[in-house]
Chain A
């Protein structure tokens, strides 16, 4: 049957009944054990012809003993062991309960195993074999046969219960895993796949052998022939069956160890480690998917590092640009001016000083203007003191194109504010240089925890963030803050830049 369909039905069951759904698992297991005990009792009395009263007592007594032992001892222990799971199912949703509940569901197999062994061996099999020994006066070989059948039945019921519980618990485990997160495992309580298969495959083989042996001897009740055939089936199961099982589990679970080895290497920093795909089952698929995931993460990591490197490069370039700007502009002017003044000082100017002084003032004013332009292009003081609104309004007034502006007066972190300012400055500068626009608009608005910045114009379009352009640097900067920059600039149909900056609210 479909895994998802069963999970769905079980999920419904848990939703309807809460923790009482767990009781169903317990009683189903108990009734199943009692039924198995009934079969065992029927078989053993068939081979041991004693008094009729003893036979009836055995056939009715063994299942009753199982029910009694499970009900009296088992249910209390079960309730206690599953308490956190019950609490969680009944709506106690604190992290501690969830963790405990997860731990308990994951340890369920150990629990069934030990409970099955304690209840099954101490409370049921032991008394039963003793009873048989007394009532039917068994010899040593007969005690061994009866004991072996009981033991096999107990192990078989436990294994089946564990596997059924795996199915039954799955929706709970999945929900708990989602709630608890990464999770941790207690290696002392592991029940490995290898062990599960190693126990259950020879067991099913033994059971088939036993059933076939009984089919042969049930009619005449020949216990010697039964013992011989059981012996045969035991030998076959434990030689050929076990050998096959060992080879099988070895091949089956090896790929898991391979993936674990690679996980450890990646964790230790070897990002190029990959799993070798050596099977074409689900583990092979897992290996392929896992490799692709690693490759993707490695790519992402590399992109992130490259981004950081580009931002540093851009900052270095910026410093050089400013240096050149000062050197070629204001500095040159002032040097020339000083030389001129020195010359003038030796040889007084013709036609009086006034004209000369006016010229000097002009020259100084020009140098100062250049410096001021440069400074305000870096990061205006207004941004620091007054926030985005005054800084952007000032920026817009210096733009040759009429710009409609709508900016929230809210304050954000310095980095966010400067990024927005850069974006608007860069796009307006681009527009006035290349776009031949007639009108533009700037809107800065917070949407929830996100800040949206939209700059658009009706110019010629064709803007892009190709390498080295101001827009590329801008996109890097926005990306470094975890945001995104969308550029739409079809030729002839205007330019529209939309930046989204996340988590701007402290």
Chain B
């Protein structure tokens, strides 16, 4: 595994819940790389050798009462398990799991990842099947036949021996598969994280819960039936008894075990299907859909958690939506204000000048010259008004004055005692305009608080972000939250992908601190 890949996956280690066993496996996974897969099989065959030995020793020692040959009887299967496991199964595994091993070794293009995923999700099943045919039918069955020939056991006894070997072998197999499921959790996690999206056939449910439960319930039932049967035949049961027992084991397993498995399946699968359906509907745009909470178990809790998460996401959305509407509204009121300023200001004044001049037509030169003076004054006043309006509209003619000068001019007009320090001059126009609007809106909002008298503004920027800090000495902190101008400033900060906080200062008053990223959100999203 390359160092770079290792590090990226390493960051994800907290993403799945881990318990003690997971912790052990994860440590192996990080250390072993591709060989982690082989170790799964090694653990499996060592475990099965140990279990087989234990079972045989117990069986010979207690059930058939031949402790003298117990260890000898256990030796052959144990040696066989170890030799067969290393010599046959590990190479088989290496071949079957090659795409996954390659992937773990660092071959991570799209096709390899997909192939690795296909193998990773099927590996326990494929191995189980191979183990069943090769090890189980090839090894266990001959030993039953050997029992029949060497000890001259009856056919019903042999039936239970077969049942016992099958259920014990299957039990071992399933333990192996289940350990494999836990074992493969880490590689599966990393492969899917690299996979991105799933094709339709990849989202097919290949190992439904129903099937797993059915197999498990049948297996545990058969297992006990077989062991009790073997024990009974060793205890001297006659042929007729054993036949009845075999039949009953089968019938009972498939009726009662089946019924219980079906009921259990329903109580697990139906709520999961509901959850899948609910998430699908949310995905398709019905964002108001909530998952039905129909059980007080892990799935019910998941449904509640998902619902709460959807509520939170919905609230975030609603807040953004509301702030968009506020943005539209504040743009509208701005237009209205400008409209009024022009109509009641310049436009009205010009109309008056026009009327006065119209009255001059035909008047004597002296009167006209005098009036021309007044007209020049009036027009100058109108021009001043227009310039003031222009300055408000486009406060920063950057090329000429820059943010510092513009804010200084704003400070002169304010009733507050404002100290402005802009320690950057490399702002582009959009940032400068935003900084101006945010700062002046906040200052205006503070000025509306009668307890405030002075403010200090600091604006600085580095390569990544622009920071605006406004520190005032006012007290009425709560009133700001309802101030339209202040909200507009906050909306703007958020809309540009920035963040803001308003906090009390230890020396009294409060500080507004906004951070704007240099690369703005609107550019990032098409």
Contacts and interface: CB of A to CB of B under 8 A. Distances in A.
Interface stretch (A18-26, A90-98, A114-122, A171-179): A171-179
Interface string B373-393: 101100110110011011001
A179 B376 CA distance: 75
B308 interface: yes
Interface in A271-326: 273-274, 276-286, 288-290, 292-293, 296-297, 300-316, 318-320, 322-323, 326
B302 interface: yes
Contact of A292 (B228, B283, B323, B335): B283
B46 interface: no
B113 to A, nearest CB: 13
Contact of B228 (A167, A170, A236, A331): A236
A277 B192 contact: yes
B334 A319 contact: yes
A79 interface: no
A229 B298 contact: no
B253 interface: yes
B299 interface: yes
Interface in B370-415: 372-373, 375-376, 379-380, 382-383, 386-387, 389-390, 393-394
Interface centre among A202, A310, A368 (most CB of B within 10 A): A368
A368 B348 CA distance: 8
B292 A107 contact: no
Contact of A208 (B221, B300, B363): B221
Given A170-B294, A240-B171, A315-B331, A334 B383 contact: yes
A87 B496 CA distance: 54
Contacts of A215: 241, 244-245, 248
B350 A236 contact: no
A237 to B, nearest CB: 5
Given A252-B212, A353-B363, 18 more contacts: A106-B296, A159-B260, A163-B260, A166-B267, A212-B228, A212-B245, A232-B227, A267-B305, A276-B192, A280-B121, A286-B275, A289-B283, A305-B521, A309-B520, A322-B393, A334-B382, A367-B350, A415-B332
Contacts of B430: 313, 316
Contacts of A267: 305, 308-309, 312
Interface stretch (B201-209, B416-424, B463-471): B201-209
B302 A305 contact: no
Nearest to A306: B525
A192 B297 contact: yes
A341 B375 contact: yes
B486 to A, nearest CB: 16
Nearest to A264: B305
B42 to A, nearest CB: 18
Contact of B343 (A173, A302, A375): A375
Contacts of B329: 414-415
Interface residues of B, number: 161
A276 B296 contact: no
A311 B331 contact: yes
24 contacts: A3-B270, A173-B294, A174-B294, A183-B304, A208-B225, A209-B224, A215-B245, A248-B178, A263-B309, A276-B193, A278-B184, A284-B205, A292-B197, A292-B283, A300-B287, A306-B522, A307-B324, A310-B522, A316-B433, A331-B383, A334-B379, A334-B386, A364-B354, A371-B342
A261 B260 contact: no
Interface string B356-376: 011011110100110011011
Contacts of B268: 193
A137 interface: no
Contacts of A365: 354
Contacts of B212: 248, 252, 281
Nearest to A266: B309
Interface in A320-372: 320, 322-323, 326-327, 330-331, 334-335, 337-338, 341-342, 344-345, 348, 353-354, 357-358, 360-361, 364-365, 367-368, 371-372
B438 to A, nearest CB: 11
Contact of A282 (B17, B208, B267, B306): B208
Interface string A140-161: 0000000000000000000110
B207 to A, nearest CB: 5
A345 B376 CA distance: 10
A109 B304 CA distance: 19
B394 A183 contact: no
Nearest to A361: B357
B266 A3 contact: yes
Contacts of B179: 247
B346 interface: yes
Contacts of B362: 354
Q: 5 smallest A-B Cβ distances: which pairs?
A: A177-B292, A183-B293, A163-B263, A309-B522, A182-B307
Contacts of B526: 306
Interface stretch (B76-84, B230-238, B473-481, B501-509): B230-238
B456 to A, nearest CB: 27
A282 B272 contact: yes
Contacts of A254: 17, 182, 185
Interface stretch (A394-402, A436-444, A477-485): A477-485
A196 B309 contact: no
Interface stretch (A127-135, A376-384, A455-463): A376-384
B151 interface: no
B15 interface: yes
Main secondary structure of the interface of B (DSSP, over half): helix
Given A182-B290, A477-B328, A305 B495 contact: yes
Interface residues of A, number: 160
Given A301-B317, A361-B357, A379-B336, A205 B296 contact: no
Contacts of B256: 204, 207-208
Contact of B249 (A170, A200, A208, A304): A208
Contacts of B222: 208
Nearest to B345: A371
A469 to B, nearest CB: 16
A299 to B, nearest CB: 10
Contacts of A204: 217, 220-221, 256-257, 260
Contacts of A229: 228, 231-232, 235
A323 B299 contact: no
A418 interface: yes
Contacts of A163: 260, 263-264, 266-267
Interface centre among B168, B285, B300 (most CB of A within 10 A): B300
Interface in B315-331: 316-317, 320-321, 323-325, 327-331
Interface string A216-257: 100100000100110011001100110111011011111011
Contacts of B360: 353, 357
A297 to B, nearest CB: 6
Contact of A327 (B330, B340, B382, B390): B390
Contacts of B122: 280
A259 interface: yes
Nearest to B359: A357
A259 B305 CA distance: 9
B296 A107 contact: yes
A39 to B, nearest CB: 12
Nearest to B397: A323
A186 B300 CA distance: 10
Interface string A472-504: 000001001110000000000000000000000
Interface in A427-468: none
A185 interface: yes
A206 interface: yes
Contacts of B327: 308, 311-312, 315, 480
B91 to A, nearest CB: 26
Given A166-B266, A334-B379, A205 B301 contact: no
A208 B257 contact: yes
Nearest to B22: A254
A184 interface: yes
Contacts of A407: none
B386 A189 contact: no
